[in-house]
């Protein structure tokens, strides 16, 4: 990408958001108009008020309680921020969508989203920060959704605080449609259904989640997309809630652990001939965040994005088909 594609924040030091007041805004305070029209949070309003470049009406510096008239041009200038604590690192990125407000990437398996204690490099954040710096953009890394290290697929990164606020609200209200493709051992009890079981931490291992009565309410919707004999199936999964390891825990709870998932596997499947056959093809849970649907945080337009299956899952799918054919001929 050349310089002509640079984000406006690289030149101005802020992201501008504008709107024109309509008849319903006449006589209202600026703060009220922004809350009604843009859903500005109290925290962001405080930041805008404190900034010398935060709020403008008709090109003039404005205060939150200034009265608004129909036709006024209101401008928010959201200051650019950088992730100075994240070390930039060049890496190949699979960018599915990007504009001045958000970035959506197809994360490969084996990469964590954000640096953690003792793991400061080789994360998605390192690569994104390097990418933005190489283009001269001043942007802070703000992931809206996260995936487990060994789950591949779509991750949304907001490029400023307003976009993050709006997308986070959509996540809380379950307005972000998240669909996954999974490959599991066995078959669910029905070809299409839901798993509504509470999930909580396991007492012996706080990193591990289990179904337990005192856990958080958790809802997963599934539909069988393909069967491979009696031993495996492909599933299209949609989340009704977003708990840690939710899909993996729920599928194991109905006797269909994900292929390749060493953490939530069942010994009976681990010792099966099928497990031995696919062991050289996939060495992580067979789970991919294949599509996302949400409202654009600024324009309000619907956004629908997809990410093709990675190579290891395509090979797994083919091997399962081969197995099915061999069994049918036997």
The whole-angstrom distance between residue 322's C-alpha and the CA centroid of its chain comes to: 33
Residues 272 and 128 reside in one and the same domain: no
Asked if residues 237 and 179 have their Cβ atoms less than 8 Å apart, the reply is yes
Distance CA 87, CA 265 (A): 35
> At which of 155, 172, 189 does a domain end?
172
For 163, the domain range is 95-172
Give the pLDDT confidence score for residue 15 in this predicted structure: 79
Burial of 163 (0-12, 13-18, 19+ CB in 10 A): buried
Assigned domain for 89 exists: no
Instruction: Give the mean model confidence (pLDDT) for residues 47-51.
Output: 77
> At which of 152, 172, 192 does a domain end?
172
Residues 46 and 115 reside in one and the same domain: no
Assigned domain for 299 exists: yes
Residues 130 and 262 reside in one and the same domain: no
Give the pLDDT confidence score for residue 10 in this predicted structure: 44
Residues 6+ away with beta carbon under 8 Å from 7: 100, 135, 137, 139, 159
pLDDT digits (tens, 9 = 90+) for 211-227: 999 999 999 999 999 99
Scan for tokens 């009890």, then name that residue: 189
Radius of gyration of the chain (CA): 23
Residues 6+ away with beta carbon under 8 Å from 90: 127, 130, 134
CATH number for 124: 3.30.2350.10
Assigned domain for 250 exists: yes
C-alpha angle 250/251/257, rounded to 5°? Answer: 135
Q: Which two tokens stand for residue 145?
A: 């959704």
Closest CA to 45 of 58, 57, 32: 32
Assigned domain for 192 exists: yes
Assigned domain for 220 exists: yes
For residue 290, the SS3 value is strand
Residues 304 and 238 reside in one and the same domain: yes
Residues 217 and 160 reside in one and the same domain: no
pLDDT digits (tens, 9 = 90+) for 146-194: 899 999 999 999 999 999 999 999 998 989 999 999 999 999 999 999 9
Residues 189 and 319 reside in one and the same domain: yes
pLDDT of 327 higher than 90? no
Give the pLDDT confidence score for residue 55 in this predicted structure: 87
Closest CA to 290 of 148, 152, 176: 152
Give the pLDDT confidence score for residue 6 in this predicted structure: 35
Residues 276 and 222 reside in one and the same domain: yes
pLDDT digits (tens, 9 = 90+) for 236-293: 999 998 899 999 999 999 999 999 998 998 888 888 899 999 999 999 999 999 999 9
Residues 143 and 55 reside in one and the same domain: no
Residues 148 and 202 reside in one and the same domain: no
Say how many CA atoms lie within 13 Å of 208 toward its Cβ. Answer: 12
Assigned domain for 87 exists: no
Q: Which residues are annotated as catalytic?
A: 148
Q: Which two tokens stand for residue 218?
A: 């958790």
Q: Which of 10-14, 101-105, 189-193 shows the lowest mean pLDDT across its residues?
A: 10-14
Residues 145 and 214 reside in one and the same domain: no
Assigned domain for 69 exists: yes
Scan for tokens 């054919």, then name that residue: 325
Asked if residues 247 and 263 have their Cβ atoms less than 8 Å apart, the reply is no
Confidence of residue 78 (pLDDT cuts 50, 70, 90): confident
Give the pLDDT confidence score for residue 12 in this predicted structure: 55
> At which of 172, 188, 214 does a domain end?
172
Q: Please tell me the pTM assigned to this model.
A: 0.85
Residues 6+ away with beta carbon under 8 Å from 309: 181, 288, 290, 317
Residues 69 and 163 reside in one and the same domain: no
Say how many CA atoms lie within 13 Å of 297 toward its Cβ. Answer: 26
- Indicate the number of domains in the chain: 3
pLDDT digits (tens, 9 = 90+) for 19-35: 899 999 999 988 898 88
For residue 237, the SS3 value is strand
CATH number for 34: 3.10.290.10
Assigned domain for 28 exists: yes
Residues 307 and 249 reside in one and the same domain: yes
């Amino acid at each position: 990408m050349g310089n002509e594609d640079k984000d406006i924040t690289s030149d101005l030091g802020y992201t501008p958001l504008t709107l024109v007041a309509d008849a319903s805004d006449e006589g209202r305070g600026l703060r009220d108009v922004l809350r009604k029209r843009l859903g500005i949070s109290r925290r962001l309003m405080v930041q805008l008020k404190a900034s010398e470049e935060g709020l403008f009406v008709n090109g003039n510096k404005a205060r939150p309680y200034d009265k608004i008239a129909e036709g006024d041009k209101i401008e928010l200038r959201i200051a650019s921020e950088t992730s100075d604590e994240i070390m930039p690192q060049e890496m190949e990125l699979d960018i599915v969508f990007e504009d001045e407000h958000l970035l959506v990437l197809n994360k490969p398996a084996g990469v964590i989203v954000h640096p953690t204690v003792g793991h400061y490099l080789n994360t998605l954040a390192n690569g994104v920060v390097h990418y933005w710096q190489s283009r001269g953009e001043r942007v802070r890394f703000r992931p809206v959704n996260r995936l487990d290290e060994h789950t591949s697929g779509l991750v949304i990164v907001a490029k400023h605080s307003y976009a993050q606020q709006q997308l986070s609200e959509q996540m809380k209200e379950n307005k972000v449609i998240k669909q996954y493709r999974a490959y599991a051992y066995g078959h669910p009890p029905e070809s299409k259904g839901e798993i509504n079981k509470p999930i909580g931490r396991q007492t012996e291992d706080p990193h591990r989640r289990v179904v337990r009565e005192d856990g958080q309410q958790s809802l997963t919707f599934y539909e069988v997309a393909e069967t491979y004999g009696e031993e495996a199936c492909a599933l299209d999964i949609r989340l009704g809630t977003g708990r840690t390891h939710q899909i993996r825990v729920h599928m194991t709870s109905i006797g269909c652990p994900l292929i390749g998932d060493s953490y939530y596997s069942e010994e009976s499947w681990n010792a099966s001939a099928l497990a031995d056959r696919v062991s050289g093809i996939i060495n992580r849970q067979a789970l991919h965040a294949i599509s996302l649907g949400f409202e654009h945080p600024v324009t309000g337009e619907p956004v629908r994005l997809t990410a093709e299956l990675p190579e290891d899952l395509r090979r797994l799918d083919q091997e399962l088909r081969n197995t099915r054919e061999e069994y049918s001929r036997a």
